[in-house]
Chain A
Amino acid sequence: MDATTPMFPSAYDLKAPAGAEGWEDLYPYYLKFQPALRETEDQKFWFCDSQHWPNPFKPFDTMTVEFAVKCLGQYNTRHYLVPPANGVDYRIHNGYVYMSPIGVAPENIEARIPQFMERAGHYFQNWPTLLENWHKKVKANIDEMEAIEFEKLPDVVPLEWVKDGVGLDNTTALTENYDRMIQLIYRTWQYHFEFLNLGYAAYLDFFGFMKEQFPTIPDQAIAKMVQGHDSDLFRPDDELKKLARLAVELDVADALKDGSVQDALAAVNASDNGAKWIAAWEAAKDPWFNYTTGNGFYSTDKYWNENLDIPLGYLRDYIVRVQAGETIERPMAALHAERDRIASEYQEMMSPEAAEAFQGKLGLARTVYPYVEDHNFYIEHWSMGVFWKKMRALSKLLHEEGFWPTEDGMFYLDRNEVRDVIFDYGNAWATGGDWAGPNYWPAEIERRKGIIDALATQAPQPALNNPPEVITEPFTIMLWGITSDSIKNWIGGDDDSDDMVGMAASPGAVEGIARVIRSPDKLNEIQQGEILVAPVTAPSWAPVFGKIQATVTDIGGMMSHAAIVCREYGLPAVTGTGSASTRIKTGDRIRVDGNTGKVTILS
């Protein structure tokens, strides 16, 4: 490679796949590489965030990346003034999102330090009380979203409204409720990052200290010292395990075994202790079944409470294992003891001064780290679950009114177009004329659907343009696992070799049969003892972690959800291989070494 050839292509040279022409119209202007800005945009290094957004965006769903990345940025740039790091710039190209961290000019870093210390320092010093308040704020948002209902416009305004002199019609609530939903989820995403960046900062400090003390210490060993184990993120899975055991104890396991969800629950209800089990099931649902099989970023995400067959399927597996005398519960006492053993054995090798600093940094990391795991349940699972549920209800309502031919039509519109549709709906209702939408949207949605399907046929580029000499942006390293080394892996990808290298994300080494899973719908195909290979995984895949031996993902760093869950479940994991899910085929015999980050196709 010569100096004039960039390591990765320019966005401006990346053509859309056939059938995706005109994709640009699907996304707002500020999300695209503007032709006029080629010179400046090509100067920046962009990496594809397919860890969080592996599939091309439907227009409505771009909201998730917009809110998430905007809110991430605001805390670095405007709340805490993280000395070296502003936010992350992002663009959508050919349906995928590319990110480019914005650093702070070296000469401006110094001045931000005192501000950072005061602002972030306040959070670290008051972590528990501020976090308690966070939970209240997030829960209040959830409650408000839950309370919002979208109702079809009636033939006439209710008589009472007339008599009470309300002076408003039914479109008012519809419009306001829609806007309110968007505002609430926007607030929720701000809360998401209120603590997260600080959590990563404290972890990074601890991480750097450990690397300095023990240059060869595996990243996973550092992660293991702070991990929480009793995180709310794993509660849904734990609840299923409890329900499985209770079903066996109450002798309702057989009633649950077969048939649809409805049949099974009816059969339980009809049995002697059935009411008791049903009560436990209902209690577990709220809130723990607000749990997605995806990652919360797509309108297509399936949440347990709307798809009870998913948790019931896992529950049935657990019942079989309980009946076989297996211990399905995680050995919490042993996990805690192990975490403390690891910390104390490293500490034994330190000088007294280092040991003291270690205690301080470990203490802070352990205080803040639970948030890094827990928030995911409250935001991506619970809050987003309620949000999508309400948005799907609105889409269904408008579908029933004839605006689009399928229940999910609305998601092919961006969030501002939906406002237009709601106005159209109320407008013609008011004038007594005809809605324009039903004549416009079906064909337009069909066109857009074709574009998005075409975009999905082409995988994203791992990155665009030239990477900087060294990656120094702390959150890029932490969240996305992007370092100068990992970038080398992306281009070093020799497709003919049987070896792949990723991040050694969770320790252990095993050999076994691969099962490539591209969608959570296919999770039930996994057989006992297989190795899960996937572009990305979600925490809610946890129930299959009892069946599998190891996990390999294309995307993700040390703190990716796959890595966290694997460490939690004691399974080897290699993340961020770049291409494992396309190079490995289901049925291949592979070796996964979570200690070295190496994955080998054996046969």
Chain B
Amino acid sequence: MSAFTLPFDKIGTKDHARVGGKCASLGEMTQAGVVVPTGFAVTTDAYLAMLDGTGLRKEIEAQLASTKFDDVLSLERSAQAIQIRFRSHKLPAAVEAAIRDDYAAMGDDLPVAVRSSATAEDLPDASFAGQQDTYLWVVGADTVIEHVRDCWASLFTARAMKYRHDHDLGQIDVLMSVAVQKMVNAQTAGVAMTLDPLTGDRTRIVIDASYGLGELVVSGIVTPDNFTVEKILMEVIDRKISQKHVELVPDVAAKTTVEREVTADRRNEQCLTDAQVIAVAQLAKALERQNKCPQDVEWAFDADMPEGENLVALQSRPETVWSQKPAEPTKTSFSTGMMGMVGALNNPVGSKK
């Protein structure tokens, strides 16, 4: 088996260093039985083969040697030069073959997302990771390969280079893996939080859901249906059905997504069945257990997959607002035994407001 690519379901803990943070998390979810959109990682071995098998490393080093990091213009020129160097080389034949094989195995010209997956676990996350590229609705092996190379090149934007320089990180030591992942053809999608974001109540899972891809839910362009699920009993205890006027759907021909009006008959309907609501809640609860802290999960029901098995997790992140609040000081003491009972009788709970 090629060391250059690794399907998500084959990514084990030992592989995390070679596949970067994003792929590792997709691998972990897959290992834990969470369904994620299928795909594979182009490993750091492939990146190293690119650097070392094409003469690219020397070209980059030469360019870096003359870069003045404090001079914006010089930095920008270097960044562009390095990116041009990346694009001037073909991928090593073995790397290209491995990508073609794995892409073909996913289906016939399947639309995919090509995303960078940095090996930056020791780096302060988002600010850095956000500087690498993501390409959506990529179709065809040639284009996939082209965008894998673009992702690698995106390690050398001026901002990323400056960041590494300022933090004393080697410019060429940060390696890059790339995720090639099926684009979700979302019937419905949204977000699930494993606590009530309004109150921090951890016995609840709160789900926002709307038609199409989840971006419109996340960005607040549609008012989603809102479900509250009791986490232990796994029962829907509250629901607010909204008017969902617009949905984001794929336009495969144009290799992009388009916003369109939701047809009148569906607009005010509950967009998920209760069974689907519970499935999303189960998924979120499983991810919370796996990650041992409250999670904020992006999910979708994929129209391309068989009904009943088509719920996929797109992303699971620790919930940050309530999790970082210091725990409320618990009641000083609990009366137990007979005193507890006397207390309960004297102030029965139903009498409180």
Contacts and interface: CB of A to CB of B under 8 A. Distances in A.
A205 B331 contact: no
A218 B345 contact: no
A471 B338 contact: no
Contacts, number: 121
B230 interface: yes
B274 A509 contact: yes
B237 A211 contact: no
10 contacts: A201-B341, A214-B201, A224-B233, A342-B233, A472-B348, A477-B350, A484-B351, A595-B230, A595-B233, A595-B236
Interface of B: 201-204, 230-233, 235-238, 274, 327, 330-331, 333-334, 336-351, 353
A205 B340 contact: yes
Nearest to A224: B233
Contact of B351 (A205, A483, A507): A483
Given A346-B232, A471-B350, A474-B344, 5 more contacts: A117-B342, A216-B201, A342-B232, A483-B351, A507-B235
Contacts of B349: 204, 207-208, 211-212, 477
A113 interface: yes
A470 B350 CA distance: 9
Contact of B350 (A346, A353, A483): A483
A259 interface: no
Contacts of A120: 338, 341
Given A214-B203, A220-B233, A84 B330 contact: no
B345 A474 contact: yes
Is the contact region of chain B dominated by helix, strand, or loop, or is it mixed?
A: mixed
A204 B338 contact: no
Contacts of A361: 336, 340
Interface string A83-99: 11100000000000000
Contacts of A202: 341
Contacts of A508: 235
A218 B340 contact: no
Interface residues of A, number: 53
Contacts of A215: 201
Nearest to A344: B232
Interface string A44-86: 0000000000000000000000000000000000000011110
Is the contact region of chain A dominated by helix, strand, or loop, or is it mixed?
A: helix
A124 B338 contact: yes
A31 interface: no
Nearest to A473: B348
A39 interface: no
Contacts of A209: 334, 340, 344
Given A205-B341, A214-B203, A357-B334, A109 B350 contact: no
B202 A349 contact: yes
A442 to B, nearest CB: 50
B344 A201 contact: yes
A6 interface: no
B237 A596 contact: yes
Contacts of A191: none
Contacts of B346: 83-84, 109
A319 B337 CA distance: 48
A464 to B, nearest CB: 21
Given A205-B340, A354-B334, A474-B345, A595 B235 contact: yes
Contacts of B341: 120, 201-202, 204-205
Contacts of A82: 345
A208 B347 contact: yes
Given A218-B230, A218-B233, A509-B274, A477 B345 contact: no
Contacts of A205: 340-341, 343-345
